[in-house]
Amino acid sequence: MADPAPIRIGVLISGSGSNLQTLIDNCEVGFIPGQIAMVISNNPDAYGITRAQEKGIAVKTINHRDHPDRDSFDLEVGNALEEAKVDLVCLAGFMRILTSSFVKRFQGRLINIHPSLLPAFPGLHVQQQAIDAGVRFSGATVHFVDEEVDTGPIIVQAVVPILPDDTAKQLAARILVQEHRIYPLSVRLFARGQLKLKNSHVQIVDGGADPDAALINPPFPH
């Protein structure tokens, strides 16, 4: 496959920005054929802003508290992304629900990462939800954003065993490690044109497969 033209990526954050950092790092090493063109935070205190500034990446704070309603906030965010000529918008620890007009404006080039195996455990406190449900696995999901919350077509997932006596914090930390792997992989696949949306399912062109892969929790005794 001929090398695709590098894509311009916009990243929306609200907090630490560890997923932003992994996207920055993977663009730098060329795993993602692209560049972070714009970072937007709704939270002026987000550490992710510092991460962007350290790399000389354009960053804007658009505080939702300065807007009378969601439409007005989303319009300013959308305009800033369009001005930056982004090809893909990545929600990375972004804690605002986006309006359907924003989703329509970026449909097909708007993705999100969620720390559970969707459709299981949408919403918040998902690691505790998984522990409370007594399931043996949780994980992370990267998906296209549609007009509902945490329901769009799934791109990549990683599965993480839940250990006896796991706290939500411990589980979240192990899931985060996998988030930092599957988000760059998802953006790479998008940038290389390997994602085909068909009847709200994502087909991955030349994505490879491991038919013998399986995880068992608890593991078989050695």
Residues that bind ligand GRF (CB under 6 A): 13, 15-20, 92-93, 113-115, 176, 179
Rounded to whole angstroms, how far apart are CA atoms 43 and 13? 8
Cα(218)–Cα(70) distance, rounded to whole angstroms? 45
Cβ at position 199, least distance to ligand GRF in Å: 27
Residue number closest to ligand GRF, CB atom: 93
Residue whose CB is less far from ligand GRF, 45 or 212: 45
Smallest separation, CB 112 to ligand GRF (Å):
8
Q: Would you call the peptide bond into 44 cis, given omega within 30 degrees of 0 as the criterion?
A: no
Q: How far is the CB of 69 from ligand GRF (least distance, A)?
A: 23
How many other C-beta atoms can be found within 10 angstroms of the C-beta atom of residue 129? 17
- Using alpha carbons only, what angle is made at residue 94 by residues 90 and 99, rounded to the nearest 5 degrees? 85
Q: What angle do CA 90, 91, 93 make, to 5 degrees?
A: 140
Q: What number of CA atoms fall less than 13 Å from residue 94's CA on the CB side?
A: 29
Q: Find the shortest distance in angstroms from Cβ 68 to ligand GRF.
A: 26
CA 10, 16, 18, 23: dihedral to nearest 10 degrees?
10
For ligand GRF, the closer CB: 125 or 136: 125
4 or 119, CB closer to ligand GRF?
119
Task: CB nearer to ligand GRF: give 8 or 174.
Answer: 174
Q: Which of 64, 114, 180, 222 is catalytic?
A: 114
Kindly state the smallest distance separating residue 220's Cβ from ligand GRF, in Å: 30
CA–CA distance, 64 with 112 (Å, rounded to integer): 19
Active site residue 114: yes
The smaller minimum CB distance to ligand GRF, of residues 47 and 75, is found at: 47
Question: Sign (positive/negative) of CA torsion 47, 186, 161, 136?
Answer: positive
The burial class, CB within 10 Å (0-12 / 13-18 / 19+), for 36 is: buried
Active site residues per annotation: 114
